[in-house]
């Protein structure tokens, strides 16, 4: 497993309701397995007052990664270069080494007119889309002066014009853009149920040398054949098994627990953080035995 940055171990998404809980327990054994935290730059750029103080507190004590929400790499409107320049300044100001975004789109419009949609939508799996998205990723990397990670997205309806599989599309974009992979384990599982494929076979096709870090999360089962990627439930056993398989295939990589809704107290979340730590330690033991 290639090392692309200094983050390691296990991370936790930094939701505002968790901030005072982490601050109160900092340095204690109960949260020792939180090695890094993830923020959305859109929520923290140019903040002041209490929020700025909180951000500075975490920057001084934890490695931070940025996972973006609104870049819309697959959108029709030109990339928001003013926003990207803000991101670049933010990453530099806080010495944040990692920026990732979704392989999807969240905007509607073109010719300079742009409206943001309240969802992350799938890109059609076509050769044309590979070239289009890869060019936008390269433009992003040129502006930021660093490689970014792209996250494999969950989706619920297949685009009728698709010419290739999700995995083929993902690998083609990674190769053409020469970017890194933000591997979402739960999204692989969600899509495998929604589109009836074997998630472990999908995982075997992933270029492990491009993984920068991963997400693991829970989801909502709307029907037996339709899962919704809500990040609002506990991680289920098949997703844990997929993460363990990924470690066996590619070696241990940094892994972050996402929980965006129905957020329980920190001590409850720590049971899942600690489970990731245990899976990593078990894989390390296997590798050295």
pLDDT for residue 174 = 98
Walk me through the domains of the chain, giving residue ranges and CATH numbers.
10-288 (3.20.20.150)
| Selection from 239, 247, 258, 246 nearest residue 280 by Cα | 247
What span, in angstroms and rounded, lies between the C-alpha atoms of 119 and 229?
11
Q: Which segments within 203-287 are labelled E, that is strand? A: 211-216, 220-223, 226-228, 255-257
**Phi/psi zone of residue 227: left (φ > 0), alpha (ψ -120 to 50 degrees), beta?**
beta
Which of 23-32, 64-73, 122-131, 212-221 holds the top average pLDDT? Answer: 23-32
| Selection from 157, 150, 165, 163 nearest residue 104 by Cα | 150
pLDDT tens digits for 9-24? 999 999 999 999 999 9
What span, in angstroms and rounded, lies between the C-alpha atoms of 22 and 172?
40
pLDDT tens digits for 125-142? 999 999 999 999 999 999
pLDDT tens digits for 91-126? 999 999 999 999 875 544 444 444 433 345 668 899
H helix runs in 9-78, sequence order? 19-25, 49-61
What span, in angstroms and rounded, lies between the C-alpha atoms of 169 and 75?
16
Average pLDDT score over the chain: 90
What span, in angstroms and rounded, lies between the C-alpha atoms of 45 and 47?
6
| Selection from 162, 163, 229 nearest residue 191 by Cα | 229
Q: Which long-range contacts (CB under 8 A, 24 or more apart) does 26-35 make?
A: 26/61, 30/267, 30/270, 31/266, 31/270, 31/273, 33/9, 33/270, 33/273, 33/274, 33/276, 33/277, 34/10, 34/62, 34/270, 34/273, 35/7, 35/8, 35/9, 35/10, 35/11, 35/62, 35/63, 35/254
Instruction: Determine the longest span between alpha carbons in the chain, in angstroms.
Output: 58
What span, in angstroms and rounded, lies between the C-alpha atoms of 74 and 192?
22
Kindly indicate the confidence band of residue 225, based on its pLDDT and cuts at 50, 70 and 90: confident
CB distance 102 to 152 below 8 Å: no
Alpha-carbon separation of residue 98 from 92, 173, 220 (angstroms)? 11, 19, 29
């Amino acid at each position: 497993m290639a090392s692309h940055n200094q983050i390691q171990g296990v991370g936790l998404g930094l939701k505002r309701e968790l901030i005072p809980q982490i601050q109160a327990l900092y340095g204690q054994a109960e949260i020792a397995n939180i090695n890094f935290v993830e923020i959305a730059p859109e929520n923290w750029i140019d903040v002041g007052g209490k929020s700025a103080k909180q951000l500075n507190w975490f920057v001084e004590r934890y490695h931070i990664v940025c996972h973006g929400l609104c870049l819309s790499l697959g959108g029709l409107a030109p990339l928001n270069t003013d926003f990207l320049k803000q991101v670049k300044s933010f990453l530099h100001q806080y010495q944040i080494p990692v920026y990732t975004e979704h392989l999807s789109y969240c905007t509607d419009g073109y010719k300079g007119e742009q409206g943001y949609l309240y969802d992350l939508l799938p890109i059609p799996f076509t050769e044309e889309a590979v070239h289009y998205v890869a060019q936008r990723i390269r433009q992003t990397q040129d502006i930021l002066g660093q490689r970014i990670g792209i996250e494999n997205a969950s989706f619920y309806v297949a685009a009728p014009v698709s010419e290739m599989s999700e995995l083929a599309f993902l690998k083609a974009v990674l190769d053409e853009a020469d970017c890194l992979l933000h591997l979402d384990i739960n999204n692989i599982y969600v899509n495998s149920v929604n589109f009836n494929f074997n998630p472990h076979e999908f995982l075997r096709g992933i270029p492990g040398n491009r993984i920068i870090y991963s997400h693991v999360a829970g989801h909502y089962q709307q029907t037996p054949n339709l899962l919704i990627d809500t990040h609002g439930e506990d991680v289920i056993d098949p997703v844990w098994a997929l993460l363990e398989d990924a470690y066996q295939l590619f070696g241990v990589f940094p892994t972050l627990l996402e929980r965006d809704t129905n957020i329980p107290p920190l001590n409850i979340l720590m049971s899942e953080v600690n489970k990731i730590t245990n899976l990593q330690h078990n894989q390390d033991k296997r590798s050295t035995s």
